[in-house]
């Protein structure tokens, strides 16, 4: 059975981590498949991507059991994190908007997965923890790179150094997730976010994401905005929307 599932339907690519018996913990096989599936989703004609986990967890981090059983733990971690980094980069570089549908617990590398996405909707029972310190390890999977941007530098240092566990409401208050929903309402909440994104048309969401991820000086980024908005203004969708707006 595949460790990662990809479904393409109605303009949405859904990536599901498929190791429910291991709380979707990352091992080498899953990390390799995730990089491949993310690349496939990026190349598809989907308008947006949803990343989620099977079962009761989103992702419990790296597979601690496999780490403990490895004959050479340092070599195993070098291989695992190398493959996980490929997956994180592939997810981060998906041009379409990516929504994290957080169906349960998030720990360790699972935080890295959440941070690669653009919008995160969490079930209100979800728990979040760095987990690294509990087994004497330092963070990986981009957590030290992206966490400060999401929740603030001081809070990120506190969260990672203490290894505290927080609930979904705290994750929302901190800015780690965008919204929360009940278990019964999670699918609907994610569908509403997806619909809102798609209502902006076939081109604007990817253009917005490209601008947000751009680097360079302020002047450089202003020029990128100018080029983007002028290009979109010539599209049929924007033209129809503008004409409808001014005719109200």
pTM above 0.85, yes or no: yes
What confidence tens digit (pLDDT) does each residue in 93-151 have?
999 999 999 999 999 999 999 999 999 999 999 999 999 999 999 999 999 999 999 99
pLDDT score for 225: 98
What is the 3-state secondary structure of 111-172?
A: HHHHHHCCEEEEECCCEEECCHHHHCCCCCCCHHHHHHHHHCHHHHHHHHHHCCCEEHHHHH
Where do the CATH 3.90.226.10 domains begin and end in the chain?
A: 4-198
pLDDT score for 248: 79
What confidence tens digit (pLDDT) does each residue in 15-59 have?
999 999 999 999 999 999 999 999 999 999 999 999 999 999 999
pLDDT score for 1: 76
- What CA–CA distance (Å, rounded) separates 23 from 25? 5
Q: Which residues are paired to 114 by β-bridges?
A: none
pLDDT score for 27: 97
Secondary structure (3-state) at 86: helix
Angle formed by the axes of helices 109-116 and 73-92, nearest 10° = 10
Q: Which two tokens stand for residue 152?
A: 């603030």
Cα 51–123–168 angle (5° rounding)?
A: 110
Q: Which two tokens stand for residue 52?
A: 């989620």
What confidence tens digit (pLDDT) does each residue in 146-177 have?
999 999 999 999 999 999 999 999 999 999 99
Q: Please give the CATH architecture assigned to the domain spanning 4-198.
A: Alpha-Beta Complex (3.90)
């Amino acid at each position: 059975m595949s460790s990662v599932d990809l479904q393409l339907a109605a303009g949405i690519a859904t990536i599901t981590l498929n190791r429910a018996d291991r709380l979707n913990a990352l091992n080498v096989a899953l990390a390799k498949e995730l990089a491949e599936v993310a690349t496939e989703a990026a190349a598809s004609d989907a308008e947006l991507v949803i990343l989620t986990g099977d079962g009761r967890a989103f992702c419990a981090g790296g597979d601690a059991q496999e780490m403990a059983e490895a004959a050479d733990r340092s070599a195993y971690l070098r291989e695992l994190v190398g493959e996980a980094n490929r997956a994180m980069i592939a997810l981060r570089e998906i041009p379409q908007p990516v929504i994290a549908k957080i169906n349960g617990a998030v720990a360790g590398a699972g935080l890295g997965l959440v941070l690669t996405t653009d919008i995160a909707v969490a079930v209100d029972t979800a728990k979040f923890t760095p987990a690294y310190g509990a087994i004497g390890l330092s963070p990986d999977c981009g957590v030290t790179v992206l966490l400060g941007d999401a929740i603030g530098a001081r809070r990120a240092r506190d969260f990672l150094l203490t290894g505290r566990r927080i609930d979904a409401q705290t994750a929302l208050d901190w800015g780690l997730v965008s919204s929360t929903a009940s278990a019964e309402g999670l699918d609907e909440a994610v569908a509403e976010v997806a619909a809102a994104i798609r209502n902006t048309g076939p081109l604007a969401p990817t253009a917005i994401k490209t601008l947000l991820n751009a680097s360079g000086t302020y002047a450089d980024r202003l020029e990128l905005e100018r080029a983007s908005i002028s290009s979109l203004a010539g599209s049929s969708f924007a033209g129809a929307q503008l004409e409808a707006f001014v005719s109200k």
